[in-house]
Amino acid sequence: MDIDLARLMVRTAFENGARLQELLPLLMQQCSPDDYRRHAHQIAEAIDKTNVSLISSALAEHPQLEAEIETSIGATGRYR
């Protein structure tokens, strides 16, 4: 894969994780504590699987992206 596709994979993983995390406050408000814990655990698993699948693959092919990602997050709080 070329580096632009690798960057898109990383950004997609981060965006997906952020969107899934947006559900947590709503779930906490509207679900029982047990249901909330179950959903939160499932969301964490989904984020982890996405990160491992997309980010790990991208970094395996383009290890130099790790420094780029860290620099961007350090400067802006996001990878853009």
Q: What's the pTM value of the predicted model, to 2 decimals? A: 0.85
The predicted-structure confidence for 11-70, as pLDDT tens digits, reads as follows 999 999 999 999 999 999 999 999 999 999 999 999 999 999 999 999 999 999 999 999
The predicted-structure confidence for 56-69, as pLDDT tens digits, reads as follows 999 999 999 999 99
Q: Where are the domains of the chain?
A: 3-76
Map the chain to HEC letters: CCHHHHHHHHHHHHHHHHHHHHHHHHHHHHCCHHHHHHHHHHHHHHHHHHHHHHHHHHHHHCCCHHHHHHHHHHHHCCCC
